[in-house]
Amino acid sequence: MPLSPGEKLGPYEILAPIGAGGMGEVYRARDTRLNRDVALKVLPEDFAQDPARRRRFEQEARAVAALNHPNIVAVYDVGENFLVSELVDGQTLRAGGKLSQRQAIDLAVQIAEGLAAAHAAGITHRDLKPANIMVTGASSGNAGRAKILDFGLAKMTNPRTAGLPASEASTQTDEGVVVGTVGYMSPEQVKGLPVDHRSDIFSFGLVLYELLA
């Protein structure tokens, strides 16, 4: 059920809807404790009502929250069926216009650096696509910075590296379950086979092709 401006989830007051997708609805919200605007994602109902999936999401959100990289959107908090992250002022690569070759290469390098940081922490994104990459606007004070967002389908390929107990490896997606976005998925992802960082690199290659072509 969509939230209305003025409603609250914990200390977060809803200001306005930002968008919606398969992984939930996203709102601009106000953190009343720190007096800052954030992006608040509410999990889909079927996701939120499945204890195992919700637990996996919370565990992986905590792992992503431990990442500190300028090309990855920061995760601030995880609540009861919602996720709170940095609010990025800009637009996605999908919404942006044609880029020059220099701009495309600069963004590609930034995306690659963000992915490398996630992979080094044992996290595979599994849904890398233009719609999940924001580029900051002029009003942000740091225009032209790429930010990878939406780790809702992320998988911990090495829980210990991600700072979590090895016992939590059992919460990863089962083999045979296909997740991701058709058109950007690696062959093994489409087949429902186990994936690792190489699947993200395949998806990145498709994003790079679109940037340049």
- The set of catalytic residues is 127
What residues contact 189, with CB distance under 8 A and at least 6 apart? 126, 178, 179, 180, 195, 199
What residues contact 21, with CB distance under 8 A and at least 6 apart? none
Reference 68, options 31, 104, 118; nearest CA is 118
Reference 107, options 118, 91, 123; nearest CA is 91
The one-letter amino acid at 96: G
Q: For 153-166, b where at least 16 C-beta lie within 10 A, e where not — what string?
A: bbbbbbbeebebee
